[in-house]
Amino acid sequence: MKGKEAAFNTLGKKNYSSTIIHPYNPKAGVFEKVTNEIYKKYYLSQIKSSFLDFDKTNFGKVATDLYLEAHKAFKKNDKTELMKLFTYPNYELLKLCQRIKKEPPFALWPYVDSAKIVHASINAEQGDSIDINNFAQITLMMLCRDTENSQKLQYNVFERRLDIKKKNEWKIALIEDY
């Protein structure tokens, strides 16, 4: 069995995650921002054709709900729920942080004021065209708040395999604090 197949069989279908993430660059120049807008619209239409439950106008709410569930699960140390909400590498990172009683390298804030789609892509593992190896990723700019009402800015990537048709089966693939 080759590397990816062995990892897939070990991790199981639900935890398999993309090894490719193209994070959004908020400091990009005008040309990159215009190009990103064109690609974002194209990929959002492709994502819509892959997932009947996807609605770009409602995705901010879907992602916010998942993010807040992840915050609660992390605070409760609920590993089962964390596994459902995070891609495998992030789940393992959170599990390790909880075990050694250290804060994770990113924050999970208790409140989200807004979530706006800023980037979208579909990534293929090693040029594969099979849905099981293709991932839709949507990056949101999320304006969050801590318990003291201080605003925090994050760019968060939500990921979903194209072959998973269960409603809103998105996972958190990347959290970047700004």
Model pTM score: 0.84
Domain 28-177, architecture per CATH: Roll (3.10)
Q: How does pLDDT run across 113-124, given as a tens digit for each residue?
A: 999 999 999 987
pLDDT digits (tens, 9 = 90+) for 44-81: 999 999 898 999 999 999 999 999 999 999 999 888 99
The answer to whether the CB of 56 falls within 8 A of the CB of 119 is no
Cα-Cα-Cα-Cα dihedral sign, residues 9, 128, 59, 107: positive
Q: Residue 175: name the closest of 97, 99, 78 by CA.
A: 97
pLDDT attached to residue 166: 81
Residues in the chain: 178
Domains of the chain by residue range: 28-177
Cα gap 137→23, rounded to integer Å = 10
